[in-house]
Amino acid sequence: MSSRLRALRRASQLLFFAAFLLLFGFAAHLAKARGPVPPDLFLRADPLLALSAMVSLRKLIFPLLWYALPVVALSLVLGRVFCGWVCPMGTAIDICERLLRVRGRRPSHAPAWRRVKFYVLIALLAAMLLPVGHRSAQELALSQTVGLSAVYLLDPIAIVTRTFTLVVLPIVQRVVELTSDSLTVFSYSDFAAQHMWLSRVLNPLQFGFSQVKRPVYFRLSLLAFAVFAGIVALGHLARRFWCRNLCPLGALLGFLGKVSPIGLAVSDKCTRCLRCMDECKVGAITEDPHQYRGPECISCYSCIAVCPESAISLTTGEENAGRSDEVQLDRRRVLEAVGFGIAAALLPKVDWGVKRGGRGVLKVSGAKLIRPPGSLPEDQFVTACVRCGECMKVCPTNTLQPALGEGGLDALGTPVLVPRIGPCAQICDLCGQTCPARAIEPFSVEEKSHLYLGTAVVDRSMCIAWAQDRQCLVCDESCPYDAISQKELEGLGRPVVDERICVGCGQCENVCPVQPQGAIHVYASGDRRHLSRQEQEAYWAGAQQELSAESPYPGL
């Protein structure tokens, strides 16, 4: 019995980690093959993310709720079993600690650090509750406010997903690309030409690689790597330093687990060898081995496995007396956490971030703050987005990138379009299908013609046709919405943009042959997210009507 539980726990960890990787791979490559399990299952199942999205947006989000409730129920019954058995971040830390031989020092028993995660959770809650933004231009009442969702910074599932998206995926893709290109070059070599049988091996291989190969470059990869590496490196101070001291999800689940009827009991066989205390990943066992801290225990059951006397066992009810569920929080620190949360929620809003005009229109923002189609109005968007990177991962053209300064401090890491990397493909609706936080609401491919992300503007001082009197209308050629037409001037066509139809997909900016920056740019000036979808559609329909009146081919 003793070590069997630990083996079971390890199997569970590996299984869930494999599932995480599998779903990650699905989302990265086969997002269209929608199965019974959503590829962002782990993010949806994260109660902290669900709580944050719902509290800060002040609404019930059922796609999150249905998946998060089982984890809540699990924690109510079994405590932090999610942390020990399921969490991909926990497993990633365990794997790294084992592979890199990171062994924390003998655990410190001072509970001070352990409380940090609870203060973090409190600060996050304070930020969520604070009315820092408005839902929309029409709803200015206090009841219609949104809070600040800063969980993306510290939620483990968001961090681990982001790490895989921004760090692991690009590296894997670069290896795939190099392999694919090497195979391609080899397949054209004289050697391959002389040995025709090689093509029977090379062709399927090349085909396979070409199917997997996708353009993947991400900004902030280094930052994402540094965050994860830092979390692993903290393991030198104490094993699973992150889980025991910092993780706000762990704090939440530990808090829920206080009502758990199941616990550990130590029998009289105990010789106080304290091996269990040394082995405990999170330092939950006190110097008196008959006592342990319930909200800290992640149910890894290593203690049961290492006990030479087999004195530790799972129990229910009264026998469970060794468990202490008290979270001794310092009232002063709690107030400090609340204050910190409020400051953290307000500062980004008064910093260089987005400012709105009277009717909810973006007034001050980075000129290149181009959001994916279906995105919520900016205040709600930065609140809802958990910076998990799922949208960037599924984006087939790689145009979705983590924001740097475009939307200010509180938009850091949210998705923006970078058209020079790729256009927003007319036939794609994946980001809307994928977003676990509904910051990008689902949209249909047909709707894309009137979801206005921005407007393209021709830089006539750079444009080949305008500035150099040469033949070039590449932007006009490839515009999927036919928003660019040519103006005949001195016998040569020059591109002009019709801002009524241009949705700012960035195809023109992407294909413009002026290197490196292009001579046509999408700017946030055409962003119409402050309007409802019906209003945007009506605007588009009006434009279509005006156009068909102008068009030489009526009825098109």
d(CA 56, CA 480): 37
Give the residue among 263, 262, 270, 265 at the shortest CA–CA distance from 307: 270
CA angle 494, 368, 547 (to 5 degrees): 45
- Nearest residue (CB) to other proteins, 69 versus 175: 175
User: Residue 446 CB, nearest distance to other proteins (Å)?
Assistant: 13
The answer to whether residue 245 forms part of the interface with other proteins (CB under 8 A) is no
d(CA 179, CA 185): 10
Contact 132, 349 (CB under 8 A): yes
Contact 152, 367 (CB under 8 A): no
What amino acid occupies position 207?
A: F
User: Residue 478 CB, nearest distance to other proteins (Å)?
Assistant: 6
Among 139, 288, 477, 535, binds other proteins (CB under 8 A): 477
The site map against other proteins for 196-235 (x = CB under 8 A) is: -------x------xx-xx---------------------
- Nearest residue (CB) to other proteins, 315 versus 397: 397
Contact 508, 520 (CB under 8 A): yes
Count of residues near other proteins by CB under 8 A: 40
Counts for the chain of helices (H) and strands (E), in that order: 25, 14
Among 482, 489, 517, 541, binds other proteins (CB under 8 A): 482
Give the residue among 367, 351, 414 at the shortest CA–CA distance from 388: 414
Among 479, 501, 508, 520, binds other proteins (CB under 8 A): 479
User: Residue 431 CB, nearest distance to other proteins (Å)?
Assistant: 14
Among 243, 256, 382, 464, binds other proteins (CB under 8 A): 464
- Nearest residue (CB) to other proteins, 188 versus 191: 188
d(CA 273, CA 276): 8
User: Residue 109 CB, nearest distance to other proteins (Å)?
Assistant: 55
Residue 364, classified by CB atoms within 10 Å of its CB into exposed (0-12), middle (13-18) or buried (19+), is exposed
Among 2, 478, 525, 544, binds other proteins (CB under 8 A): 478
Name residues whose C-beta falls within 8 Å of residue 158's C-beta, 6 or more positions apart in sequence. 43, 46, 49, 151, 152, 386, 387, 388
Instruction: Name residue, tokens 């020079």.
Output: 420
Contact 238, 244 (CB under 8 A): yes
- Nearest residue (CB) to other proteins, 113 versus 481: 481
Residues 147-206 that bind other proteins (CB under 8 A): 180-182, 184-185, 188, 193, 203
Among 270, 480, 499, 523, binds other proteins (CB under 8 A): 480
Q: Which stretch binds other proteins (CB under 8 A): 316-324, 341-349, 352-360, 513-521?
A: 513-521
Beta-bridge partner residues of 402: 415
The site map against other proteins for 401-440 (x = CB under 8 A) is: ---------------------x--xxxx------------
- Nearest residue (CB) to other proteins, 358 versus 491: 491
Residue 350, classified by CB atoms within 10 Å of its CB into exposed (0-12), middle (13-18) or buried (19+), is exposed
- Nearest residue (CB) to other proteins, 87 versus 392: 392
**Which of helix, strand or coil describes residue 402?**
strand
d(CA 556, CA 548): 7
Among 515, 545, 549, 550, binds other proteins (CB under 8 A): 515
User: Residue 511 CB, nearest distance to other proteins (Å)?
Assistant: 7
Contact 301, 292 (CB under 8 A): no
What amino acid occupies position 129?
A: L
Among 65, 346, 511, 547, binds other proteins (CB under 8 A): 511
State the CB neighbour count (10 A cutoff) for residue 527: 23
User: Residue 476 CB, nearest distance to other proteins (Å)?
Assistant: 5
State the CB neighbour count (10 A cutoff) for residue 332: 8
The answer to whether residue 544 forms part of the interface with other proteins (CB under 8 A) is no
What amino acid occupies position 102?
A: V
User: Residue 232 CB, nearest distance to other proteins (Å)?
Assistant: 35
- Nearest residue (CB) to other proteins, 139 versus 469: 469
Residues that bind other proteins (CB under 8 A): 180-182, 184-185, 188, 193, 203, 210-211, 213-214, 396-397, 422, 425-428, 464, 470-474, 476-480, 482, 486, 493, 511, 513-515, 552-553, 556
